[in-house]
């Protein structure tokens, strides 16, 4: 047998072994990283994601204003006209929320959570937003609870998911729950005259009856559980009022992005006092416009005794971008 053929036949087993090892390792990696057990389904969803990204990229030129441009107009180099218009629109929606809460006979509380890392450029927006919310709630005689001080007593990276993400960690959520537990003591006797009429409807903005691993990015998966009524609650059904019911409406800081249900501040708050029923109606990306729609059209029908509206530095920005 010629030397060349002997060499090829001797290397062929090694080549086949390498291919088998590569396929096996890829399978192991896929099973550890992929969201789906079927490779075809994972490939189809990946293709859809890439096509969506291409469509978004193609439409970037049609977007009225980018996030960074809007933030600059409001906070870095404030344009008084733009800022005043955003404040006026937010104030209008907030006034409607106050009126709706009064009509629903629920005690409205506003809770501010800091959301920017000290020393970063975005942190400059915090002082202006805290002042705006404090003045706005004072005008409407709505209790305003600023949780900046208890959260700022800790290093920002200790209470958030940084460096991966700036949302509150379980520790940060525990601080929020601890502070709210103390605040709610003064409202222990607050009850609504309203009554929840039906238990078999969807009142939240989430898909009901979910129990899945959510992966907004592949490095921070979390377990998402929703009840039959579309809220991020582990209990399957809100019954007609038996405990004091507290409705928590807000954005991703109430929802608890990147953390499991039991690590969110509404779940921790309920665990601290089982006599309360805390309903997590937070939705990532929501601002006052979405929160008003959710409350007026659906969430108020669960007859909450107290409604907590969680506000954030980017709420004014959300109103501006939605113009």
- Tens of pLDDT, residues 208-257: 999 999 887 777 889 999 999 999 998 767 777 678 999 999 999 999 99
- The pLDDT value recorded for residue 178 is 97
Is residue 13 domain-shared with residue 77, that is, in the same domain?
no
- Domain membership flag for residue 193: yes
Separation between Cα atoms, residue 221 and residue 33, nearest integer Å: 10
Separation between Cα atoms, residue 255 and residue 212, nearest integer Å: 15
Is residue 144 domain-shared with residue 214, that is, in the same domain?
yes
Lookup: tokens for 188: 């222990």
Is residue 107 domain-shared with residue 33, that is, in the same domain?
no
Domain that holds residue 231: 72-321
Burial class (CB in 10 A: 0-12, 13-18, 19+), 104: buried
Is residue 271 domain-shared with residue 164, that is, in the same domain?
yes
Separation between Cα atoms, residue 282 and residue 206, nearest integer Å: 9
Lowest mean pLDDT: which of 20-34, 114-128, 188-202, 240-254?
A: 20-34
Beta-carbon contacts of 125 under 8 Å, excluding residues fewer than 6 positions away, are 71, 74, 75, 116, 313, 314
Is residue 235 domain-shared with residue 95, that is, in the same domain?
yes
Cβ-contact 222, 253 below 8 angstroms: no
Separation between Cα atoms, residue 148 and residue 33, nearest integer Å: 37
More confident position, 67 or 267: 267
- Domain membership flag for residue 67: no
Is residue 20 domain-shared with residue 100, that is, in the same domain?
no
What does DSSP assign to residue 168? Answer: B
Q: What is the rounded average pLDDT of the residues 3-13? A: 69
Is residue 126 domain-shared with residue 7, that is, in the same domain?
no
Lookup: tokens for 249: 């409406």
Q: How many domains, the chain?
A: 2
Separation between Cα atoms, residue 45 and residue 288, nearest integer Å: 32
Is residue 255 domain-shared with residue 311, that is, in the same domain?
yes
Separation between Cα atoms, residue 132 and residue 86, nearest integer Å: 11
Among residues 62, 84, 99, the one where a domain terminates is 62
Condensed to tens digits (0 to 9), the pLDDT of residues 186-201 reads: 999 999 999 998 888 9
Strand partners, 110: 144, 309
Is residue 78 domain-shared with residue 124, that is, in the same domain?
yes
Separation between Cα atoms, residue 323 and residue 320, nearest integer Å: 6
Is residue 144 domain-shared with residue 284, that is, in the same domain?
yes
Band the pLDDT of 47: cuts 50, 70, 90: low
Among residues 37, 62, 87, the one where a domain terminates is 62
Is residue 45 domain-shared with residue 191, that is, in the same domain?
no
Is residue 34 domain-shared with residue 98, that is, in the same domain?
no
Among residues 27, 62, 97, the one where a domain terminates is 62
Crossing angle of helices 80-103 and 125-139, in 10° steps, is 40
Please tell me the pTM assigned to this model.
Answer: 0.81
- The pLDDT value recorded for residue 67 is 77
- The pLDDT value recorded for residue 4 is 65
Q: What is the rounded average pLDDT of the residues 274-280? A: 93
Cβ-contact 307, 73 below 8 angstroms: no
DSSP three-state, residue 213: strand
């Amino acid at each position: 047998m010629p030397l060349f053929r002997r060499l090829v036949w001797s290397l062929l087993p090694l080549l086949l072994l390498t291919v088998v090892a590569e396929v096996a390792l890829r399978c192991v990696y896929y099973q550890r990283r992929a969201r789906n057990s079927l490779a075809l389904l994972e490939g189809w969803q990946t293709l859809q994601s890439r096509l969506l990204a291409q469509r978004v990229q193609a439409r970037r030129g049609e977007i009225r204003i980018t996030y960074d441009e809007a933030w600059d107009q409001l906070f870095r180099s404030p344009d008084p006209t733009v800022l005043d218009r955003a404040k006026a629109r937010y104030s209008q929606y907030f006034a409607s929320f106050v009126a709706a809460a009064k009509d629903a006979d629920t005690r409205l509380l506003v809770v501010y959570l800091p959301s920017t890392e000290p020393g970063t450029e975005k942190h400059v927006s915090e002082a202006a937003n805290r002042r705006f919310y404090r003045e706005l709630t004072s005008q409407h005689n709505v209790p305003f609870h600023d949780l900046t001080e208890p959260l700022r007593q800790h290093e920002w990276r200790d209470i958030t998911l940084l460096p991966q993400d700036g949302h509150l960690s379980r520790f940060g959520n525990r601080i929020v729950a601890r502070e709210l537990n103390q605040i709610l003591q003064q409202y222990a006797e607050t009850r609504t005259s309203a009554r929840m009429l039906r238990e078999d409807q969807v009142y939240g903005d989430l898909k009901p009856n979910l129990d899945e691993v959510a992966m907004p990015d592949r490095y921070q998966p979390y377990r998402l559980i929703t009840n039959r009524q579309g809220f991020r609650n582990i209990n399957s059904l809100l019954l007609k009022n038996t405990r004091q019911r507290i409705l928590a409406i807000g954005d991703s800081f109430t929802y608890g992005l990147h953390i499991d249900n039991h690590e969110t501040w509404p779940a921790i708050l309920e665990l601290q006092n089982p006599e309360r029923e805390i309903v997590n109606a937070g939705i990532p990306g929501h601002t006052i416009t979405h929160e008003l729609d959710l409350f007026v059209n659906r969430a108020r029908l669960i007859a909450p005794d107290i409604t907590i509206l969680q506000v954030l530095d980017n709420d004014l920005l959300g109103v501006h971008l939605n113009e």
